[in-house]
Amino acid sequence: MKKFNYLLTAITIGAMSIVGCDPVEDINDQLEANEAGIFDVFDYTLTEDDYKETLELDYANFNTVDDAKALIPTVLNTNFPVLGDASLANVSYDLYAPVSTESSLIVYTVSTADYDANPDTAQYNNFDDEEQIYTFLDSKFPNVANRTLVSLTYVFYNGSAQTLNNGFLRVNGEWQFVLGLTSAEYTAVGQGFANFNTEDEALRKLPIFLLDKFKYEEIAVNTVKSTMYKLYTTDVDDIDGDGSKTDRATYSYIVNFIYDGSSWSEYNNTLRMTLQFGNDSGVWVPDNTIAYSFTQGDIALVSSTLLAKYPGPADNVGFFKSFDRRSGSSNYWSDDMMIEAIGIVLDSINPNAEEDQKYAVTVVIYNGSTTNETFFLIKTDGAWVAQ
Amino acid sequence: MKKITSLLALVFLLFTAAMQAQGTIRGTVVDGENNTPLPGVNVVVNGTTNGVTTDFDGLFEIQVAKNTGALRVSYVGFAPLTVNFDVTGKKVVDLGTINLKMDSDALDEVIVKAYSLAIDRKTPVAVSTIKAETIENELGSQEFPEILKTTPGVYVTRGGGGFGDAELRIRGFNSQNVAVMINGIPVNDMENGNVYWSNWAGLADVTSSMQVQRGLGAAMIGLPSIGGTVNIVTKSTDIAAGGNVMMTTGNDGYTKYGFTISTGLLDSGWAATASLSRTTGEQFVDGTTIDAYSYFLNVAKKINENHELSFTAFGAPQRHGQRQNRLLIDDYRVSDRGIRTNTDYGYKNGQILNHEDNFYHKPQMSLNHYWTINEISSLTTSVYASYGTGGGGGTAGLNKFGKYDTNYRDEPFAPVNFDQIVAENKALGAAASAETFLRASINNHQWYGALSTYNTELSEYIDLSAGVDIRFYKGDHSTELTDLLGASFYIDNNDVNNPNKVVKEGDTYNYNDSGYTNWGGLFAQAEYNKDKISAVLSVAGNNTSYKREDYFKYTPEDPLRETDWVNFTAFSTKGGLNYRLDSKNNVFANIGYFERAPFSDAVFINNTNITNENAENQKIFSAELGYGFRSDKFRADLNVYRTKWMDRTYTISRTADNIQYTANILGVDALHQGIELELSYRPIETLTLTGMASLGDWQWDNDVKNVQVFDDQQNAIGDPIDIFIDGVKVGNSAQTTFAIGADYEVLETTTLRASFNYAADYFADYNPTGRTTSNLPQTWEMPDYGLLDLGLTHRFNFGGFNAQINANVFNVLDTEYISDAQDGSGSVASTALVYFGAGRTYTVGAKINF
């Protein structure tokens, strides 16, 4: 009798050890791992703390775009630890892109002798071709130190002869053109002489001057223009070569301006850039994904385009405005059919999308109840495919 | 308490002390099959109220007032036995061992035949029999068909988890393809084949035997027994005088109380049994409220040796909250309510409101006549009637019931805030049609039938049976507006005879039609029994006629308003042979082919009066081999089967120029084959071990190519479709199941039970005709699971009455498992819509027999 008590106990324990696990546990774990978590689509601009504290950089900018791509995820992880998969961050950061300014100055007016030295310019005593200027500079100033600015006054023939004053900055053995103002332009910006009185005045008036000067040109955002302005100031460097360092002389200075799409401002050697990052299963990666939701028009387009190919499903989605995603249904939209349908819409709304452009497209589906489903596509070899 | 006990004892003593003792009779009652003692058996002196019950060793001792007479020995599920006694000149007579015969073996032969019960070692079908005692002790708050879960080939699910929403599937075939008979009368819905177990709540209290015949079954009449047949036999004249009162309580406020009382067979030839019960509370799933009664009445009269009449009426008026919408696994994971989550109920004015509910009452009445014509012939006739009234509740108008819709729920999956919906309806103004409201799909019906079987012995070895089976069914289908949710009316335009109809609560709207189903069947069966051989051959033919009448879609003048009868003639034939090798071993084989008319929805597609004249009969071919072993301690049954189901009814529709065209999809075939094993071992008298294993291989059999829809001019509409289902597993039922169980009498008064059920190879449900692209994966396979149930039965003497306590704990380990799934996109876990089975639940019940 006792024997059977043991047997029964053994059977019970045996049965319990077999079933003492949760059959759905693995699925739940997987679902938890894949949990969309908290997600957001947001704009963010890196702060000085992000550069210097979080990333321990010396300067509040990145040297290269690759640095930005590599380091910004750290900032996002630090600042937004709870954000998970499907989050999209549009991040603004500063990229260090230095534009040289002068470290020494030569003020020079091209003389008749200079023009005569070149057979091309000897006849009219002016330049009529930019190459002629650089030929002149190379021969006149063959061995100037790096970052030497030549503030050059010369006559240029372009329909009529004009006296110009522009800068030429020697950078790594090359001359870089720096835009200067003509006397007429100084007059136009309200100066009595061909110079500014103070640096502040130059910095205030030059952006207005640039807007006016290029008002008929299409200037791209983040375009940097080097300008040269003149100040009548104490000749501490004896720039006029008269031996006195206490008299006054006209100095030239370079200042760079950057265009933000509507106005010019002084360029501080950093470009404001933006990069989109997407959160892929908890990891932030640079991402060009565009989020898009189907409109009624998109559904009508899909329904009509695919009616011949998938008569049942296409008719059904046109009527119910939702994609039937029950695999057992006769109007079932398989994953492949969904990608095909979304591709039709993307080709319609963004026919010139670049290669590797990604989309996250949300559509209304029916899987027993009406809900949303998001599909991720990428343009590959000119066609929209699932990511 | 003690006072009451004493009082009861006193009352009891008064009954017994009134006798004048002449002598004492002793005996031991045992189960004739395995010689184990039967406790609680009624032993009554014929023609008196003088009776006792056996003790736990099957012993009884009764004092008799006369020298000679007869004892009637009876026990639920066993054939009553009359034993003569003679105590003349003796004080004590020992009758020795009295064998009671169990199961259908022992049931009246007429009953066995009339109710199509299978007889052990004789009828060549695979069968498992559940005794009344098992149901009484082990069912608890489970759904009635769940008592079959430990038998092979059976998968029972509670569906959404509402009271009576269970579904029984056998050998991978859903309930439409499992025939259910109560006292020999088929009860599957005439229009759609479904079985609604909530209609039969309470039947468990009065069931004397329940048989599940897998495969072809033993029935002579035409039945949809593609998966099998469940035969339920209620108590009748076999029950002894007396009765019981019972009370059961369980988890989530489940409460059931009731009584059964029976006169036994009186000298006048009358016998009556009545049973009444009430069930309230909730099921495991949130919001699945129960409000149910059940009643049963049997009045029988043995007119003379040759005639017996028996009238039975039973029913179960009930209303229960349902869960109709499956959720994603992730939804349950996220929801505060976990696997109990139900998004189909809410609160209105502080009261629970189930917007998905079911309310129904289907009294079933039958009058049976058993006529023993002569030594060799008998005629049994049942005339029956059943009236169903009720339907299922749901929502209508603008859908504000989305599971994630936090405008109407405090958070996703929380109960619906009906007050908000009421406020929005009211805000529209008194002159506005309701925006969102509740409705019920009403499905009333009237069913009349007659079933008559004539049996005769053609020769010493050959019996012949033949009969008729006639059924008339009318189903009335409509939508009733049940709750305007604060609005005053709703404007409906679905009735062509009543445009812009103003609908108020209780009014019919949306659709209103009747379906008529008539059935006429003839059947005949020959049985051969000689020595070691039993053979049977049956043929049946039946005609199913459908007609549809639509009161809303057509005007009274419209000839389409009422269709012509559409007829389907189906034949079936089956045969089998059982060979008893010796007293322990037997083998059997059966083979059959039968046809089945398509359901009415395949004839009147999309509920219109345009008949699909081309609907085809479904065809089923089935063959089976079996082996049985019986000894005192050990019994085993092993069988293999192969069922091929051809031309399963499917249709597809295509729309062109706003006209819908339909095609039948022929050639959708399924092949179900498998092995089933059932064991029982009783190493010692107090311990019974049982086991079951069922290995199925159920697959769709072939791809179907180029199904084309044509218009009435035979122009092709749309492209032809292909259906890729070759080798795809059949879903909706676990293909592998096994169970082990132990029943151990720890003390003379106390029995402990443990049972472990395991299910595997269970694929999500899907529509095979939706697989119109090639290379789709198998549908999602649910995780395997095992469930442990424990039970205890304790018998004791309560003031002179036999009483017992039954305690059952189901899913003891609180295993979280998926009981039903609908395949989703990509056939993966994350997209499947599922129901979880119940977690740990319990019931404790007490029953006092008198």
Does residue B17 have a pLDDT over 50?
no
- Give the model's pLDDT for residue B626: 96
> Tokens representing A103?
């470290």
How does pLDDT run across B681-700, given as a tens digit for each residue?
989 888 999 999 999 999 99
- Give the model's pLDDT for residue B410: 94
Q: CA of A340 to nearest chain B CA: how many angstroms apart?
A: 14
As a whole number of angstroms, the distance between CA B52 and CA B59 comes to: 10
> Tokens representing B446?
């009237």
Query: Closest by alpha carbon to B173, among B224, B227, B210?
Result: B227
Residues in chain A: 387
Over residues B461-474, the mean pLDDT reads 95
As a whole number of angstroms, the distance between CA B72 and CA B361 comes to: 38
How does the average pLDDT of chain B come out, rounded? 88
- Give the model's pLDDT for residue B42: 84
Phi and psi of A73, rounded to 5°?
-55, -35
Q: Residues with Cβ < 8 Å from B5, sequence gap 6 or more?
A: B798, B799
Over residues B702-707, the mean pLDDT reads 85
Q: CA of A87 to nearest chain B CA: how many angstroms apart?
A: 20
- Give the model's pLDDT for residue B16: 43
- Residue among A18, A34, A335 whose CB faces B825 most closely: A335
How does pLDDT run across B201-236, given as a tens digit for each residue?
888 888 888 999 999 888 888 887 889 999 998 877
How does pLDDT run across B423-455, given as a tens digit for each residue?
999 999 888 999 999 999 999 999 999 999 999
Do B19 and B62 contact (CB within 8 A), yes or no? Answer: no
**What ranges in B379-535 are assigned the alpha helix state H?**
418-427
Do B278 and B297 contact (CB within 8 A), yes or no? Answer: no
Q: How confident is the model at residue B109 (pLDDT cuts 50, 70, 90)?
A: low
β B462-483/B377-397 pair status: unpaired
How does pLDDT run across B545-554, given as a tens digit for each residue?
999 999 999 9
Over residues B819-838, the mean pLDDT reads 91
Q: How confident is the model at residue B49 (pLDDT cuts 50, 70, 90)?
A: confident
Asked if B326's CB is within 8 angstroms of A23's CB, the reply is no
Ramachandran area for residue B658 (φ above 0: left; ψ -120 to 50: alpha; else beta): left
Chosen for mutation from B150, B329, B772 (greatest number of chain A CBs closer than 10 Å) is: B772
Query: Closest by alpha carbon to B573, among B593, B591, B556?
Result: B593
How does pLDDT run across B710-731, given as a tens digit for each residue?
776 777 777 788 889 999 999 9
Which DSSP symbol is given to B132?
H
- Residue among A15, A16, A327 whose CB faces B825 most closely: A327
Q: CA of A315 to nearest chain B CA: how many angstroms apart?
A: 8
Over residues B613-642, the mean pLDDT reads 91
Asked if B687's CB is within 8 angstroms of A11's CB, the reply is no
- Give the model's pLDDT for residue A217: 87
As a whole number of angstroms, the distance between CA B811 and CA B819 comes to: 13
- Give the model's pLDDT for residue B73: 87
- Give the model's pLDDT for residue B304: 87
Task: Give chain B's domains with CATH numbers.
Answer: 2-101 (2.60.40.1120), 104-234 (2.170.130.10), 242-849 (2.40.170.20)
Q: How confident is the model at residue B238 (pLDDT cuts 50, 70, 90)?
A: low
Over residues B802-814, the mean pLDDT reads 93
Across A27-36, A116-125, B20-29, B334-343, the highest mean pLDDT is recorded for: B334-343
- Residue among A11, A24, A332 whose CB faces B817 most closely: A24
Which DSSP symbol is given to B195?
-
CB atoms within 10 A of CB B101: 14
Does residue B510 have a pLDDT over 70?
yes
* The CA-based dihedral angle spanning residues A262, A264, A269, A273, taken in that order and rounded to the nearest 10 degrees: 0
Does residue B104 have a pLDDT over 50?
no
Distances (CA, A) of A188 to A195, A209, B90: 12, 9, 148
- Give the model's pLDDT for residue B105: 44
Size of interface A-B (CB pairs under 8 A): 139
Q: CA of B311 to nearest chain A CA: how many angstroms apart?
A: 46
Interface of A with B (CB under 8 A): 1, 4-5, 8, 11-12, 15-16, 18-20, 22-28, 30-32, 34, 308-309, 311-312, 315, 325-330, 332, 334-336, 367-371, 373
How does pLDDT run across A69-83, given as a tens digit for each residue?
999 999 999 988 888
pTM value surpassing 0.80: no
Q: Residues with Cβ < 8 Å from A5, sequence gap 6 or more?
A: B746
Phi and psi of B392, rounded to 5°?
-125, 135
Over residues B743-771, the mean pLDDT reads 91
Question: Which carries the bigger pLDDT value, residue B208 or residue B145?
Answer: B145
Is the Cα torsion angle B128, B133, B136, B139 positive or negative in sign? negative
DSSP B61-84: EEEESSSEEEEEEE-TTB--EEEE
> Tokens representing B550?
């639509």
Query: Closest by alpha carbon to B26, among B83, B75, B76?
Result: B83
Q: How confident is the model at residue B15 (pLDDT cuts 50, 70, 90)?
A: very low
Distances (CA, A) of B69 to B91, B241, B398: 15, 18, 75
- Residue among A15, A329, A367 whose CB faces B756 most closely: A15
3-state secondary structure A231-294: EEEECCCCCCCCCCCCCEEEEEEEEEEEECCCCEEECCCEEEEEEEEEEECCEEEECCCEEEEC
Which DSSP symbol is given to A321?
S
- Residue among B333, B655, B686 whose CB faces A28 most closely: B333
Do A161 and A191 contact (CB within 8 A), yes or no? Answer: no
- Give the model's pLDDT for residue B12: 44
Does residue B420 have a pLDDT over 80?
yes
pLDDT, one tens digit for every residue, chain A (387 residues):
555 566 556 665 565 555 556 888 888 888 887 765 677 788 999 999 999 999 999 999 999 989 999 999 999 999 888 887 778 899 999 999 888 888 888 889 999 889 988 888 888 888 988 889 999 999 899 888 899 999 999 999 988 888 999 999 998 888 999 999 999 999 999 988 889 999 999 999 999 999 999 989 888 888 899 999 999 888 887 777 777 888 888 889 999 999 988 999 999 888 888 888 988 878 888 887 888 889 889 999 999 999 888 888 998 898 888 899 887 778 889 889 999 999 999 999 988 888 888 888 989 888 877 788 888 899 999 899 998
Q: CA of B801 to nearest chain A CA: how many angstroms apart?
A: 30
Which DSSP symbol is given to B10?
H
Does residue B18 have a pLDDT over 60?
no
| From A49-53, A147-151, B82-86, B245-249, the region with the lowest mean pLDDT | B82-86
Asked if B824's CB is within 8 angstroms of A326's CB, the reply is yes
CB atoms within 10 A of CB B357: 25
Lookup result for tokens 């692209």: B773
Kindly state the greatest CA–CA separation across chain B: 98
- Give the model's pLDDT for residue B14: 42
Cβ neighbours of A18 in B, within 8 Å: 756, 758, 786
β B307-315/B270-282 pair status: unpaired
Q: Residues with Cβ < 8 Å from B803, sequence gap 6 or more?
A: B795, B796, B797, B846, B847, B848, B849
Does residue B9 have a pLDDT over 50?
no
- Give the model's pLDDT for residue A281: 78
Q: Can you say how many angstroms the Cα of residue A23 is from the centroid of all Cα atoms in its chain? A: 50
Q: Is B807 helix (H, G, I), strand (E, B) or coil?
A: strand
Lookup result for tokens 């994609």: A323
| From A75-79, A330-334, B31-35, B305-309, the region with the lowest mean pLDDT | B31-35
- Give the model's pLDDT for residue B747: 87
Phi and psi of A125, rounded to 5°?
55, 45
Query: Closest by alpha carbon to A241, among A106, A65, A360?
Result: A106
Chosen for mutation from A24, A34, A319, A325 (greatest number of chain B CBs closer than 10 Å) is: A24
Asked if A22's CB is within 8 angstroms of B816's CB, the reply is yes
- Give the model's pLDDT for residue B19: 44
- Give the model's pLDDT for residue A235: 82
